[in-house]
Structure 1
Amino acid sequence: MEYPISLRDVSKWYGEVIGVNQVTAGIAPGITGLLGPNGAGKSTLLKLITGQLRPGAGDIRVLGRDPWTDRTIFREVGFCPDSESFYDEMSGASRRIKGYSKGMRQRTKLAAALMHDPRVIVLDEPLNGLDPSGRMEMLRLFRELGAEGKTVLVSSHILHEIESLTRSIALIHHGRILAEGHISEIRALIENQPLTLQIASPQVREVGSHLAGLDCLVSLTYADNGHELIARTSTPEVIYDVLQQAVLDNRYTVTALTALDDNLDAIFSYLVKK
């Protein structure tokens, strides 16, 4: 498969400091989230993809072309940088930008990135400065662009924003891609780690007694509220099956079943420590 954005063994140094370290990745059409803490290498990677930086090693292709040497590619690429990119005396529809709020400046950057209807859209922390309603509006817009078949690469250090936007992610830390793919695929990378399940039931003691004999159970504790228990297990599907069958047999009622660490925050924290 030829990806709209592909990187092979890409590295970038700033003197002796490594900004991006041997990154190999393929970004497919739709929305992909690039996640990592501040200083992880997200902005450097996006500048490499958009031809603003020359890689120290490796190969980058955007729509089959080298973004550093073939500048015509920018007719088909939109980029919204994290940094401010306007002169104060420039104007939008009716007012000079120097009078804009931070949120309005961010909207203007996004408009500039999208106005030429690009096939590839690269967004560096695009929700910064937006109020909650503005964030929701932009998230809807990004979903629409992805549904149209455009390639949308969105960087963020806020995990729940990306988790609400897409299930296709890449995790970057210290310039390296720790993992990439569907969230479920990345979760499978740490499947040997016990998963924490929160189970709510009005018969919580009966539920706990029923689960206590399972070999897959690592630990079982009761919450102080009296109607929840926390189960840690190496094979959560066994507990899912046992609970489902018990409910069908009318042994007890389960009002909620939540995987507490089956989310990006837990996955990222584990992979960084690893």
Structure 2
Amino acid sequence: MIELNHVSKMYGNVVGVNDLTLRLPMGAYGLIGPNGSGKTTLINLLIGHFRPTIGSLRVLDTSPSSDRQLLRRIGLCPASDVLYPNVSALEWVQYQIRLHGIPRRDCRRLAETALEIVDMTDAMRRPMGTYSLGMRQRTKIAQAIAHQPDLLILDEPYNGLDPVGRNDMTRMLRDWTQSGRGLIFASHVLQEIESVTPSFLLIHGGRLLASGTAAEIESILADTPQEVRLVGKDVAKLIHRLADVDWVESLQLNHVKHELKVSLREPIEFYRQISTWIRDDNLVIEQLRTPDGNLEAVFESLLRRHRGDVT
């Protein structure tokens, strides 16, 4: 589906993506990273909007920047909002389909079908200026799928959707992947992607830091240096346990807050033993705070490993 060979994209002296090499067979993949990580730059490379400064890439076995017919096989939902106040969703989606070279006689039928899939049938003839953000987001999804592409690329597709809309979107994307077509789903929220596909690409600072299934990513993160915090009146009593092991990099105790910061070289060893120590020593520990959910911290740990700062 996608093949990148040492792809880098520069904006003057700024690196958009840096030396990306990967090969993805047809399937569904989550592209996850914090804002500014390079997700949107990578998407623009995949659709041929950008050319690589260095390296080469192929999408659906062709070059995006030289084969404009490729766009007929790709459906794109960008992160940017769309608003043409005096144009209806039906008119706009029909126009987008027509741009792909599909005969005019088929455009209305395809547009109505796509808008029905995203539950916009009742409002599709109203001007988009009357739509909520969630309705505009549904309309963007409709134009991305209306021409029945082989590969769907979504950049933050859950923006503006309420819980019902998110549930509908998740169900639609699951159906899409089960049909055997391709999906690239960019987000900075891990749970959004995990609800659709178990396969992830983690990107930060323009670099691909890790890829694989959720279980494989968890295994990587469990073995990645990180900092944990323990809170409770007995945290100081853990120091004698942690001071004698070589997988602890540093300890920092705050007596006032009853908080112990532990920098770990091998977190998996810590997680294996901490509950036993707390039980055996009969300690009162109220909280154990890990980097889980803090993608910036996790990605920074992976980036340090990638640079060789840690082993």
In the superposition, the TM-score normalised over structure 1's length comes to: 0.71
> Does 2:123 match 1:125?
no
Structure 2: how far apart are the matches of 1:261 and 1:128? 22
For 2:61, the equivalent position in structure 1 comes to 64
Per-residue CA deviations over 1:37-64 (Å, capped at 9, x if unaligned) read 33x5433321221233444553222222
| Matched AA of 1:187 | L
Identical positions, percent: 32
Shift of 1:257: 4.5
Residue pair 1:223, 1:230 contacting (<8 A) in 2 also: no
CA pair 177-26 structure 1, distance change in 2 beyond 3 A = farther
Give 1:92-171 correspondences, 5 Å limit.
92=90, 93-131=124-162, 133-135=164-166, 137-139=168-170, 141-143=172-174, 145-146=176-177, 149-156=180-187, 158-160=188-190, 165=195, 168-171=200-203
Classify the secondary structure of the residue corresponding to 1:95.
coil
Greater helix proportion: 2
Residue pair 1:12, 1:56 contacting (<8 A) in 2 also: yes
| Matched AA of 2:33 | L
Classify the secondary structure of the residue corresponding to 2:65.
coil
Residue pair 1:186, 1:267 contacting (<8 A) in 2 also: no
Give 1:32-71 correspondences, 5 Å limit.
32-38=30-36, 40-71=37-68
Shift of 1:110: 0.9
Residue pair 1:33, 1:162 contacting (<8 A) in 2 also: no
CA pair 234-123 structure 1, distance change in 2 beyond 3 A = same
Structure 1: how far apart are the matches of 2:179 and 2:278? 42
Classify the secondary structure of the residue corresponding to 1:130.
coil
Per-residue CA deviations over 1:225-270 (Å, capped at 9, x if unaligned) read 65x6443332333333333444776856777644336852202334
For 2:75, the equivalent position in structure 1 comes to 78
> Does 2:37 match 1:7?
no
Classify the secondary structure of the residue corresponding to 1:45.
helix
Classify the secondary structure of the residue corresponding to 2:89.
coil
How many residue pairs get aligned? The number is 263
Instruction: Please tell me the root mean square deviation across aligned C-alpha atoms, in Å.
Output: 3.9
Residue pair 1:197, 1:260 contacting (<8 A) in 2 also: yes
> Does 2:179 match 1:181?
no
> Does 2:88 match 1:90?
yes
For 1:243, the equivalent position in structure 2 comes to 274
Structure 1: how far apart are the matches of 2:266 and 2:11? 45
Structure 1: how far apart are the matches of 2:33 and 2:131? 29
CA pair 49-229 structure 1, distance change in 2 beyond 3 A = same
Q: Give the gaps of 5 or more residues in structure 1.
A: none
Structure 2: how far apart are the matches of 1:230 and 1:65? 51
Shift of 1:168: 1.2
Shift of 1:122: 0.7
Shift of 1:108: 0.5
CA pair 225-138 structure 1, distance change in 2 beyond 3 A = farther
| Matched AA of 1:233 | L
Shift of 1:184: 3.7
Tell which deviates more after alignment, 162-171 or 97-106.
Answer: 162-171
CA pair 65-133 structure 1, distance change in 2 beyond 3 A = same
In the superposition, the TM-score normalised over structure 2's length comes to: 0.64
Q: Give the gaps of 5 or more residues in structure 2.
A: 91-123
Residue pair 2:4, 2:23 contacting (<8 A) in 1 also: yes
